[in-house]
Amino acid sequence: MRALASMLLFVLVLVAFEAALSLAPWHEGAMAAAGAPAVEATAAQPGAPKLTVADYPRYRGFNSRLTVWIAAQLHLFFAAFVLGVPIFVLVIEFIGWRNGDPRYDRMAHEFIKISMGAFSLTATSGGILVFALAVFYPGLFAYLTRIFGPVMMLYALLFLAETACLYAYYYGWDSMQGRRKPGHLLLGLALNVVGTLLMGLSNSWATFMMAPSGVDSQGVFAGNVWVAVAGPLWTPLNVHRFLANIAYGGAIVGAYAAYKFIAARASEAKAHYDWMGHTANGIAVVAMLPLPFAGYWMTKEIYAYSQQMGITLMGGVFAWLFIIQAVLIGTIFLAANFYLWCGMARLDGANRTAHLVKYIAGVLVICFLVWFTPHTLVMTARELATIGGAYHPVLGPLGVMSAKNTAVNIMILATFFTYQLFRRSMVHSTRPWMARASRFQVALYVAAVANIIWLGVYGYFVPANIRIGLSVPQVMTTLLVIIVCIVVDEVIASRSKRIGAVHWGRMPARAQYALFTLAVAFTWLMGLMGYIRSSIRQHWHVYTVMRDGSVDAFTPTIGHATAIVSVCTLLFLALILFVFWLSGLSRAREAPAGLAEAGATP
Amino acid sequence: MTGFFRVATYAVGLIGLFAAFSHYGIPQLVPEPPPVEERVTGTMTTEEFVTVGARIYARVCVLCHSGLGDRAPKLDAIAMAWRERIGDPRYRGKAKNLEEYLRESMVEPSAYVVKGFGKPGTNDTESPMPEATKGALALNPGEIDALIAYLQSAAGTQVTVAPRAGLAAGAGRPTAEPSIGEKALDAVTALQKFQCNTCHRLPGLATEDGAQPLGPDLREIWRTAANRVAGMNARDFLTESILFPNKVVAKDFESGLMPEDYGDRMLVAELLMIVDHLAREH
Ligand code: HEM
């Protein structure tokens, strides 16, 4: 029944897409029909149209910009979710297949089931977005389709393939067990490859609008779609979104698990959903650790593309949005850590390290404050007068990139350290070399933090262009520690006895609220960043090439923008709740007995 | 079920917190409206000309040239510095005097890149400054002249450029088509420019007594505009009435009288000013 409904929806979306695509050739056809010889027609091929207010249809009761904004944001939420989930589902399924533990397989299956429901909403919201764009912004839509027509066709085809893969992957889950598992895994891989391509293609429209390539200064398209797709910001955005989608998927299924945990009565079910929540939190955290770096890389590319856009972003009115971003990301880091600390209650052996928690919390808070401190936040003379000065006399120096990078790196290390404590509490070092290995790890942390701080301080004594380069060794240090520690931990874990059991389900309810916090903050953050991304174009549809001539071309105040972000978040959460509820209707199998006492290290 | 409500309340509360922080924890600056083309006419005095330049400078150039951070060199000492610049072996331009140097710096920024300010990795051969006549800035020649006048005046040297009439509009800025004419500077002039007063009584404009006007009296429209059409606030209603006059026809008036082509003839800024003016209490 549900499959049928989704198929129907899909056909609807395709029809909408076709209709939308036909708009572009239609425009050109009209021009060719005017009787110009073919050669002249190409020579006179118009660039980006210059639009006036009259080119934007207005419909009573609809604010064009808000309609498109909300439709686009909801579509992004759903798309990010349904693209992120299959990535870690595949990994979990693979792990389950290698270690033969059926619980992994079941969890992966349950995760993908949640995203199935969201899939039809992705298609629906996408259809609404295309429709809204074509109706409210016909000029822009026609221009984009003229350039990206073939890419959009490919997109539609890939969407078809994505649907096919997803349905086969999901409905084939139970029948493709045992000997046919590798086939199923390959199917999952295909699903993810197609999904990632899909994301890349749609990202290209967004990055083209920010940093157009393949067109000249008048917006005349040179004819090579690939050049238009692979613009200067395309790769960084792809990377940032790929990671963010995984983290986002983790955060949302974490909320699902938390909700189920609270609702569950039987201790088996509680254990199952606790484990699920723990895994989801782990996914969100691990995918989030490299995000700041991906974010800085994207920013660097924005500066390289246009210093003006970069400064508008980080040093103009939009800079205030990054204060909000910092608060959100700080919330996410603290919530994730809080959850990990609560998780120590599941362990018998954790008491040894519990006292460290307060120090980690302190480090996190201090780093957060440094990161949060703005450096310069002023764009125009008018703002300078409003705010009354650009640098804070005391805090100003903390706002420099050097200090921020240092803080972020230490925050990441601290979070990883928490995670490591949790894992190490489950094993008992029996041999002397293990104690030595642990001491080595401690020394590594100390050296790494010293190195990161030293690089940060050194940054104050060198010119800006060298300072930027220093962030690389800082990141490398952090990554090195993480990788080495994971390897050492694996070796120790594989050679030693586990002590105590993990009491899955022995988790306070307030820890579940940390998972809710993660989901809400992530959704809101995403809405905020999506807004930043599209609003730094300011009064341009396509930066420097096609001006926004509508009455909505102005930049709203932060209060207004974030109110819309809040509305989008509420809408999304309401819809996703509906999806959870739907997937609850087709009864999840309860977790088997015995999990509550199992000692697995997920 | 109570569990559900508790979770929902928590989520809504958290969203509310984020929204409240963004409202009250962050200054609510009103960002600059989209730039409109500055028009320079031959009859301007030098003072007016410099003022136009100052306005453009504040809107466009201060972003980078404010002296904050390491964004761009400050321009206050340029009257002294330019000789050094053109004497530098790295100089690749053709400027012979300050005016030429300033123009060149805007139109062809890479002709000379101030040490330490080049694009990263180009060893100061490429300037990160956008070409002022193109792309995102797209200033017209008159605006460039005005900027030069302002920079010269700010640097305390003689202003050597004079306003020239009839300069072509800049590329990429669609606002001013020739038929649109000069941008009106305030709402009342805009209303006069489009001769709204031939058919309407308007706030802020003296009314000629005599014949009954063809269109409704708009002096009091701010009282009712918000309630005229369900789902439209005052500004939306006014915008709609001006751009598409025959969509909502006022009671007791004929449709088809009011011109329908204001959308093509008006600059966005003018429309916004008129709407603001009519929607404001008088
Ligand atoms: C822990 C750090 C970070 C987290 C958790 C994070 C998270 C996110 C998330 C969830 C999105 C939405 C992705 C999507 O729509 O698929 C996003 C987008 C974005 N992020 Fe980050 N980010 C982080 C760091 C940064 C940094 C440091 C910057 C730049 C200074 C940055 C710049 C952006 C931009 C411009 C977008 C818009 C992309 C878009 O939606 O089109 N991020 N980020």
Q: Is B173 on the interface with A (CB under 8 A)?
A: yes
The most confident of the ranges A462-466, A574-578, B117-121, B180-184 is A574-578
pLDDT of residue A69: 96
Report CA-CA distances (Å) from A167 to A163, A170, B46: 6, 5, 72
d(CA A189, CA A170): 13
The answer to whether residue A345 scores a pLDDT higher than 90 is: no
| Domain-ending residue, one of B106, B135, B154 | B154
d(CA B216, CA B278): 13
The least confident of A33-37, A50-54, B134-138, B224-228 is A33-37
Q: Is A81 on the interface with B (CB under 8 A)?
A: no
B101 burial via Cβ count (<10 Å: 0-12, 13-18, 19+): buried
Asked whether residue B213 is domain-assigned, the answer is: yes
* B29–A327 CB contact, under 8 Å: no
* Same-domain pairing of B150 and B224: no
- Here the ipTM equals 0.82
What's the CATH code of the domain at B258?
1.10.760.10
Listed residue (A360, A494, A483) closest to A427, CA to CA: A494
Work out how many domains chain B is built from and give that number: 2
- Position B207 confidence tier, pLDDT thresholds 50, 70, 90: low
pLDDT of residue A401: 62
Nearest CB to B130: which of A50, A308, A468? A308
Which A positions 453-512 lie with beta carbon below 8 A of chain B? 463-465, 468
Residue type, A402: S
Asked whether residue B134 is domain-assigned, the answer is: yes
Q: Classify the C-alpha dihedral B167-B171-B174-B179 as positive or negative.
A: positive
Q: Is the CB of A532 under 6 A from ligand 1?
A: yes
pLDDT of residue B20: 92
* A54–B230 CB contact, under 8 Å: no
Best B268, B270, B274, B276 residue to mutate vs chain A (most A CBs within 10 Å): B268
Asked whether residue B100 is domain-assigned, the answer is: yes
* B172–A465 CB contact, under 8 Å: no
Residue-wise pLDDT for A113-123, tens only, equals: 988 889 999 99
Secondary structure class of A244 (helix, strand, coil): helix
pLDDT of residue B24: 84
- Over range A10-23, report the average pLDDT: 49
Listed residue (A550, A140, A139, A52) closest to B266, CA to CA: A52
The answer to whether residue A465 scores a pLDDT higher than 70 is: no
Residue-wise pLDDT for A358-382, tens only, equals: 888 888 888 888 776 655 443 333 4
* B34–A554 CB contact, under 8 Å: yes
The least confident of A102-111, A195-204, A221-230, A590-599 is A590-599
- Over range A339-343, report the average pLDDT: 88
As beta bridge partners, residue A502 has: A347
Q: List the helix and strand counts (H, then E) for chain A.
A: 20, 2
Asked whether residue B245 is domain-assigned, the answer is: yes
pLDDT of residue A270: 92
Given the CA of residue A333, which atom of ligand 1 is nearest to it?
Answer: 1
Q: Is the CB of A244 under 6 A from ligand 1?
A: yes
> Cβ contacts (< 8 Å) between A518 and chain B: which residues?
none
The answer to whether residue B78 scores a pLDDT higher than 60 is: yes
d(CA A154, CA A122): 18
> Cβ contacts (< 8 Å) between A390 and chain B: which residues?
66, 68
Listed residue (A45, A46, A563) closest to B19, CA to CA: A563
Mean pLDDT of all residues in chain A? 81
The answer to whether residue A43 scores a pLDDT higher than 50 is: no
Take atom 11 of ligand 1 and give the residue whose Cα is closest.
Answer: A526
Report CA-CA distances (Å) from A513 to A197, A266, A506: 35, 20, 15
* Same-domain pairing of B62 and B145: yes
CA angle A31, A36, A40 (to 5 degrees): 105
d(CA B99, CA B260): 46
* B18–A308 CB contact, under 8 Å: no
Listed residue (A334, A202, A346, A344) closest to A270, CA to CA: A346
pLDDT of residue A31: 33
| Domain-ending residue, one of B97, B129, B154 | B154
* Same-domain pairing of B141 and B233: no
Give the pair of three-digit tokens for residue B196: 């709204």
The least confident of A28-32, A530-534, B178-182 is A28-32
Asked whether residue B14 is domain-assigned, the answer is: no
> Cβ contacts (< 8 Å) between A61 and chain B: which residues?
230-232
pLDDT of residue B220: 86
* A217–B171 CB contact, under 8 Å: yes
The least confident of A237-246, A389-398, A497-506 is A389-398
pLDDT of residue A463: 61
Listed residue (A485, A348, A472) closest to A415, CA to CA: A485
Give residue B221's domain range.
187-279
Given the CA of residue A322, which atom of ligand 1 is nearest to it?
Answer: 30
pTM for this prediction:
0.76
Q: Is the CB of A527 under 6 A from ligand 1?
A: no
Residue-wise pLDDT for B123-150, tens only, equals: 888 999 999 988 888 888 889 999 999 9
* Lookup result for tokens 């800024």: B269
β-pairing, A546-547 vs A540-542, is: antiparallel
Q: Is the CB of A80 under 6 A from ligand 1?
A: yes
- Position B25 confidence tier, pLDDT thresholds 50, 70, 90: confident
The least confident of A259-273, A292-306, A557-571, B30-44 is B30-44
Nearest CB to A547: which of B62, B173, B231? B173
CA angle B24, B25, B31 (to 5 degrees): 80
Give the pair of three-digit tokens for residue A457: 């301080």
Report CA-CA distances (Å) from A120 to A1, A26, A286, A469, B21: 13, 30, 28, 45, 34
What phi and psi, each to the nearest 5 degrees, are found at residue A27? Answer: -60, -50
The least confident of A18-27, A540-549, A584-593, B36-45 is A18-27
- Position A586 confidence tier, pLDDT thresholds 50, 70, 90: low
Q: What is the DSSP string of A487-542?
A: HHHHHHHHHS-B-S-B-TT---HHHHHHHHHHHHHHHHHHHHHHHHHHHTTTTEEE
d(CA A286, CA A274): 18
The answer to whether residue A399 scores a pLDDT higher than 50 is: no
d(CA A274, CA A279): 9
pLDDT of residue A10: 52
The least confident of A196-205, A313-322, B191-200 is A313-322
Residue type, A469: G
Q: Is B39 on the interface with A (CB under 8 A)?
A: no
Report CA-CA distances (Å) from B113 to A282, A387, B118, B218: 49, 32, 6, 56
* Same-domain pairing of B148 and B193: no
- Position A400 confidence tier, pLDDT thresholds 50, 70, 90: low
In total, chain A counts a number of residues equal to: 602
* Same-domain pairing of B191 and B133: no
Best A63, A379, A564, A565 residue to mutate vs chain B (most B CBs within 10 Å): A379
Where is B42: in which H helix or E strand? none
**What crossing angle do the helices spanning A401-424 and A267-288 adopt, rounded to 10°?**
150
d(CA A142, CA A152): 12
d(CA A28, CA A145): 11
Percent of chain B residues past pLDDT 70, beyond the cut: 89
d(CA A79, CA A245): 9
> Cβ contacts (< 8 Å) between A554 and chain B: which residues?
31, 33-34
- Over range B267-282, report the average pLDDT: 81
Take atom 26 of ligand 1 and give the residue whose Cα is closest.
Answer: A295
Q: Is B14 on the interface with A (CB under 8 A)?
A: yes
Asked whether residue B207 is domain-assigned, the answer is: yes
| Domain-ending residue, one of B138, B154, B170 | B154
The least confident of A59-68, A202-211, A568-577, B246-255 is B246-255
- Position A351 confidence tier, pLDDT thresholds 50, 70, 90: low
- Over range A48-56, report the average pLDDT: 86
Asked whether residue B41 is domain-assigned, the answer is: no
Q: Is the CB of A526 under 6 A from ligand 1?
A: yes
Give the pair of three-digit tokens for residue A271: 């254990």
Nearest CB to B22: which of A307, A324, A376? A324
Secondary structure class of A178 (helix, strand, coil): helix
The least confident of A70-74, B10-14, B205-209 is B205-209
Take atom 23 of ligand 1 and give the residue whose Cα is closest.
Answer: A292
Of B30 and B122, the structure prediction assigns the larger pLDDT to: B122
Asked whether residue B240 is domain-assigned, the answer is: yes
Take atom 16 of ligand 1 and give the residue whose Cα is closest.
Answer: A241
pLDDT of residue A393: 38
- Position A33 confidence tier, pLDDT thresholds 50, 70, 90: very low
- Over range A159-179, report the average pLDDT: 93
In total, chain B counts a number of residues equal to: 282
Nearest CB to B263: which of A52, A259, A566? A52
The answer to whether residue B198 scores a pLDDT higher than 70 is: yes
Percent of chain A residues past pLDDT 90, beyond the cut: 43
pLDDT of residue B248: 74
Q: Classify the C-alpha dihedral A475-A476-A481-A486 as positive or negative.
A: positive
The least confident of A501-515, B234-248, B250-264 is B250-264
Secondary structure class of A547 (helix, strand, coil): strand
pLDDT of residue A42: 39
